[in-house]
Structure formats: C-alpha cells, structure tokens
Structure 1
Amino acid sequence: MIANGSKKLYRIPARGKVKGVCAGIADYLDIPVRLVRVIVVLSMIFGLFMVTLVAYFILAFVLDEMPESEEKSEKAPTAHQLLDKLEAELQGGETHLRDIERYVTSETFSVRSRFRQL
C-alpha cells in the first residue's frame, strides 16, 4: 500500500494478535511490535479510544496480508541464533589468539628472531 523505499505496509496476521495491523506497522517502521502495541493501548487510555479503534479497523480491512514469499525472505534471525553465531566467532578468535601466543612463546620464534637480528 504505502511504499517506504522497497517496503510496503502490510498486515501480518501470523505475528499479530487481532488482525496483524500492529505487527505490520512495526515491520514497516523497523521497531519492536510491543512498542507499537503499547502506543496503541496508551492512545486508547489517554482519550483517543474511538479514533484509535476506528483507525485500527480501517487499516485491518484496507491493508493487504503480507505474502508468504516476502514474510519468509525477511525472516530475521532469533536472539538465540545470533548468540550462537557470536559464540562461534569468539571461539574462533580465541583459538587463533592461543595459536599466536603458543608461537610467540615457542623456541622457534626466539630462534627466528635471533637469526633476523644477525
């Protein structure tokens, strides 16, 4: 519907609570879904109940559902996956550092450095 570069505003019922409007807005704006839901609830509490409710249902019926092809291609890694990847990178760096330390403290390193000084 509304273009933001190459992004479009969709409803995402699979990740939503009622019709997926908040999930679609959050995906479009690249912000957490909880933040959008909190903003919606706070706007309803602080005097904009009818405006928020009408806007929500208008968006629910006007916005198209996100196609499955786009939803699958935009799937972000979970926090657990990111932590596993980070742990693997740190482990590789630590192994490399140990190899360097082992070489620098070895007899071979000291012999080579003495030959370079000659």
Structure 2
Amino acid sequence: MNGKKLYRIPARGKVKGVCAGIADYLDIPVRLVRAIVVLSMIFGLFMVTLVAYFILAFVLDEMPQSVEQGERAPTAHMLLDRLEAELRGGETNLRDIERYVTSETFSVRSRFRQL
C-alpha cells in the first residue's frame, strides 16, 4: 500500500504500538483501529485478537527514526520519473555529440590534426 512498510510505533502506541503502526500503514485514525480491536475482543474473538496482537508485537520491527520523521522510501513512480529525467539528459548529451561529429567543424579539425 503506497510503498509503505508495516511497522509498530511504540512512541504513539499504548501497549506495543501495533495499533498505531496499523493505523499509519492504512492511513486511518488510531482510535478506529483500537475500537475495532476492542470490539473484536468483546464479540467473541478475544483469544484470536489477543494472539494476533502479540504475534504482530514480536514480528513487526519498530519504526526507524528516519521513516518517522517523514523520510519515506521513494515509490516506483518517483524512481521511474528520476530515471526518465536522467535518460533525457543522456539523450541530450548524445545528440550534442552527434551534431558535433557530423558537422563541418569536426571534419575540418580532424583534417588539420592529420597534417
């Protein structure tokens, strides 16, 4: 989803930060995720929810400071845009070289060098 990775965020969490991490990953409010967890525990999925929460608490990595401060990994679209700009620059340089090699100036200079 949007090139994001699922982390747990203990700084914004209550127990281990699993709900905060899920909320950040899905771009929804943390309170909504917590409400869903509590309601699932009340309506008969207590053990399943509890086991899933603790498995996620131990499996998920903590969110690194660089990601938390807004430095996101570049998306595929961003990488393709960067690559396209770089290729355009290379193509422009190649056209300039081709224009010089096929010009009269190049042929005259190369003949003078041969003398």
Instruction: Place the TM-score, normalised by the shorter chain, in its bin.
Output: 0.5 to 0.7
Q: CA deviation at 1:46?
A: 0.1
Query: What is the Cα-based RMSD across aligned positions, in Å?
Result: 8.4
**How far apart, in 1, do the equivalents of 2:10 and 2:17 lie?**
4
- Structure number with greater CO (CA < 8 Å, separation at least 6) is 2
Residue 8 of structure 1, aligned match among 5, 9, 12:
5
How far is 1:28 from its partner?
Answer: 0.1
Per mean C-alpha deviation after superposition, the further-off stretch among 92-101 and 61-70 is 92-101
CA change 1:53–1:76 in 2 (3 A) is same
* Alpha-carbon distance in structure 1 between the residues aligned to 2:35 and 2:87: 36
Which segments of 5 or more consecutive residues in structure 1 lack a partner in the other structure? none
Structure of greater Rg:
2
Distance 2:63 2:102 in 1: 59
SS in 2 for 1:64: coil
Q: Which piece of structure 1 moves more, 57-66 or 108-117?
A: 108-117
Q: Percent identity?
A: 91
Distance in structure 2 (CA, Å) of the matches to 1:31 and 1:117: 73
Structure 1 residue aligned with 2:66: 69
Give deviations 1:12-57, integer Å, cap 9, x for gaps. Answer: 0000000000000000000000000000000000000000000000
Measured against aligned partners, the alpha-carbon deviations of 1:53-108 in whole angstroms (never above 9, x if no partner) come to 00000000000000011101169999999999999999999999999999999999
**What SS does structure 1 have at the residue aligned with 2:69?**
helix
Distance 2:64 2:29 in 1: 20
Cα distance in 1, alignment partners of residues 30 and 88 from structure 2: 33
Residues 69 and 102 from structure 1, CA distance in 2 versus in 1: closer, same or farther, beyond 3 angstroms? closer
Q: Which stretch of the first structure deviates more once superposed, 105-114 or 54-63?
A: 105-114
Q: Which moved more, 1:12-21 or 1:81-90?
A: 81-90
The TM-score, its normalising length taken from structure 2, stands at 0.60
Runs of 4+ in 1 over 3 A off after TM superposition: 74-118
